[in-house]
A and B are shown apart, each in its own frame.
Chain A
Amino acid sequence: MPAAVEWLSGLLGRCYGKALLLYPAEFRDEFGAEMMQFFRDDCSRTLRSLGPVGLLLLGLRTCVDVARSAPGVHMEILRQDLRFGWRMLGSSAGFTLAAIAALALGIGANSAIFSLVNGILLRPLSFPDADRLLMIWDRNPKGIERNSVSPPNFVDYRAGARSFSGVAAFYEAGANLLGSGGPEHVTSYVVSREFFDVLGVQPLLGAGLNAEPSSPGAVLGHELWMRRFGGDPGAIGATLRIDGREYEIRGVMPPDFRFPSRETALWTTMPFDPAGFSRQAHFLGVIGRLKPGIAFGQARAELEVVAAAMARANPASNSGWGVTSLPLREQVVGPVRRSLLLILGAVSFVLLIACANIANLLLAQGTSREGELAVRTALGASAARLARQMITESVLLALLGGAAGLLLAVAGVAGLKALHPANIPRLEEVSVNGWVVGFTFALSLITGLACGLVPSWRISQTDPNAGLKEGGLHRRSFAHDRSRGLLIIFEVALATLLTLGAGLLIRTFLHLQRLDPGFDPHGVVTLTLDIPRGRYPDARQRSALIEEAAARVRALPGVEEAGLISNLPLTGGEGFNRFGFTIEGKEDPTPTENHRFYGRWITRGYLRTMAIPLLRGRDFSDADRESGVPVVVIDSMLARRYFPGENPVGKFVRLSYAPSVPREIVGVAQEVRLLGLDMEPAPQIYIPVLQEARSTTMTLVLRTTLPLSTTAHSARAALRRIDSNMPVYNVQPMAEVVAESIATRRFHTLLMGLLAVLALVLSAVGIYGVMSCMVGERLGEIGIRMALGARQPEILSLVVRQGMRRALVGIAGGLAAALLLTRALTSLLYGVSRLDRWSFVSAALTVLAASFLACVVPALRAAQADPIRALRRQ
């Protein structure tokens, strides 16, 4: 053979040797040598018959052969593993069901929480190119980052910001609709012309608001259109009477469009020219759409320049003010991001516990399968092959668990949505969709791999001969099985952490519920009424109406006291009706440190109805009306802050919205939590509504001795008798208003609580499983001990001690980790320290009790074992 040909066939042989690496190792071990020989035979035969060219062709053909056959061989081995794994799972149905149940709980909980995270945090908002939408806020010099924008500032942003293709403004204004179906109050927003263009959503019908800016126009939400117009396209161009004014209907929005709030039913044009408005009246929300290709930072820098120019041009109103801009998505989901991610973290702990359980079960099963594995090893299966078999089985288990978990997630998501916590944004967009299924699949695969690693590692450490020896399975002592012990410690630690986290949230929630809001909500029912401005244009008419409403309602049977207020405490509206004030005889504050208060317009009887104690002076009386001396009642918060060590009664204040009127302070009321139970009280000034009927939305509060629903019903009827066209809504017990204000917290607490229960159950089941297994394996040893005179209590304590020692280490570990990890919870806690002693103690005791129960059942079984039978088994 010429040297070149020899070299060529040598090269081909070496290449084929390398190509064999593409086949699974076991296959190579089995057939590699034969295949090499086959190839060499083929080479020499081809060379003889076809020469060196044939040799090259053979090389090519063999390449194709490798590429075609290698994947098949891999699949074949997987098929064999799966078939064998399936048989193994089927042969121990109890084990399989337990493992699938644990995995379904762990994976299902994760998929459900991931559905929330995906729907709320990850998916883009349902607007075209939603990532280009930004919210723009004025930045208040007192540190309020997101202050509403004043109309002239909006005009300046719109004109000055070149990075935006459009900037729009909006503000909430309830609308009272009349007509068939009775008076109705709906949530409506006044919006600037560009509003729908900026959001990139065009009306389903009609031209929208951009076309004819001259006359008042309205766009209907889909639901309102269906309800009031029966879905009639002829509604376009019709006239809608809102609060007595006429609006031309210029569009109907698509069904899922509900911006800025979920309740929005209607959008109307701005009834004023924003440029001509006061710069100090901050009440607009502003949203802008970035031009394509413009970076967020660039737009932000440009807005800063615009804001600085505004401050220079209008020093009286804008000095010290700045601008804040943030992505719309951040605005919408920012408030819940942290808590959701926290819960996602917590739920991953649950999965880790489930994994530890599965690993433990597989280990236990591995022990009972040592004989089988030893036989397979003796028959030539490599350790890698057996490890692969174990991992295939655990992945198979995890996929089955994942499928069951997905069903649980569907049920769980439906359950969470049914709880309907009002304050979670985008909850209606949450669903178990393709992403969630993909996530579940990936999670199941990872879980299966992770669970299979421990037992397969154990196999590689096991001496196969030990498994073949008679009774080899029962030879180890209690202390031997360290990996199982470690897994128990690990899962108990995680369960302790979760229990503690839930405990802290529950303590916070209980604290908030017990917290004195400053008023007594029990026995109080509330109704909101909207005074149609169109028919009561004059303040005097409005106060007459309010007075009559209060009088009629007070006369109802069972009503002890009644009153009205402009903004009920705890119903939101931070930043609404917030003004500055000056005190007569004291130096005026500088613009940046001016005194601020929340203005609340009330009738006499409001304070008494809410059981808000009057600390000094007097309540309003019927004499405090327009003709009388202007008076106010301040709260103890404002008294403490601005009249330290003085008696404020008899002093005079001027309020920034009407600075010409001096008002006498006639009383000091106890402070209340008006913005939220979890927010400190803020200074308030009460103004008699009969003196100044500023607000057209008033809430009636009644203290009654009769059932709340009865009184609410008769109050509603009484109000209807005064004016049948006045909408009355939000009929609600005050206690419910209080409960709703912490609905988000209740949701989080409930979720964490559920996760903690899941964690406890899973880890208790884990301990139980391992202890039962150990007892079963060591029955012989127990028999010997009993034969040597050990009595039942001793056996009992021996087994319980074994389990509890690990549980205690786990609890200690969990508490130690909590010292660090509860830091993440701080923002969700209120009035409870993250190192709260009671929570630590009760979490430890709860986990201890669960672990004890899990140990004591197998221990009892051990103690009741018949020593003769136990020994015979040995």
Chain B
Amino acid sequence: MVPVYQNLTDHAEIRKKLPLLPAVFHIMLALADGEKHGYGIKREVEFRTGGIVSLGPGTLYGTLQRMLADEFIEECGERPDAEGERRRYYRLTKLGRRLAAAEAERLESLVQVARAKAILAKPRTV
């Protein structure tokens, strides 16, 4: 059996922070393809999870505050959005990106275990 953490990055600092809270990982994924403002993050998460995960303002900004303090994300200025409203934008830091990758790898190796044990079907080749 493949130990879950074996393939992950060796960086102990990174490993210590895993697993990430679901809200943190969702926000990281939302920011992975570019900076977004708070409501934009919420929309993206909602869209990608088919409405199953819906972040309330308290949860979202509470998490953002902690991620800012831990330097997983950073602010990248305030500017009007498409509708002309001024918004603060956030983006992933390098650390945040590495963490998101590490978390994804961790989840992937879990999925592999699930497959090996036939809990999950093998991926169909396209």
- Listed in ascending order, the chain A residues whose CB lies under 8 Å from chain B are 23, 27, 30-31, 34-35, 37-39, 41-42, 61-62, 64-66, 68-70, 72-73, 76, 80
Contact = CB atoms under 8 A, between A and B. Distances in A.
Given A73-B65, A76-B66, A35 B58 contact: yes
A806 B66 CA distance: 48
- What interface size band does chain B fall in? 10 to 19
B62 A69 contact: yes
Contacts of A69: 56, 58-59, 61-62
Most buried by B among A34, A64, A76, A80: A34
Contacts of A72: 62
A70 B66 contact: no
Contacts of A61: 54, 56
A65 B56 contact: yes
Interface string B37-64: 1110010000000000010111111101
A65 B58 contact: yes
A18 to B, nearest CB: 14
B88 A73 contact: no
B59 A68 contact: yes
Given A34-B38, A37-B85, A38-B38, A27 B56 contact: no
Contacts of A27: 61-62, 65
Contacts of A62: 56-58
A30 B60 CA distance: 13
B46 to A, nearest CB: 10
Nearest to A22: B58
Nearest to B55: A65
A61 B60 CA distance: 14
Main SS at interface, chain A:
helix
Contacts of B126: none
A34 B61 contact: yes
Interface of B: 37-39, 42, 54, 56-62, 64-66, 69, 85, 87-88
A68 B61 CA distance: 12
Count chain B CB atoms within 10 A of each CB in A30, A42, A69 and give the residue with the most: A69
A69 B66 CA distance: 12
21 contacts: A30-B65, A31-B65, A34-B38, A34-B87, A34-B88, A35-B38, A37-B85, A38-B38, A38-B57, A38-B60, A41-B39, A61-B54, A64-B56, A65-B56, A65-B59, A66-B56, A68-B56, A68-B59, A69-B59, A73-B58, A76-B65
Nearest to A83: B69
A76 B24 CA distance: 15
Contacts of A39: 57
B36 to A, nearest CB: 12
Given A64-B56, A80-B69, A31 B39 contact: no
Nearest to B68: A30
A656 B69 CA distance: 91
A860 B61 CA distance: 57
Q: Which has the most chain A C-beta neighbours within 10 Å: B56, B58, B59, B88?
A: B58
Contacts of B42: 38, 42
A561 to B, nearest CB: 85
Contacts of B57: 35, 38-39, 42, 62, 65
A31 B59 contact: no
Contacts of B60: 38
Contact of A73 (B62, B85, B87): B62
A73 B85 CA distance: 27
A850 B30 CA distance: 67
A58 to B, nearest CB: 9
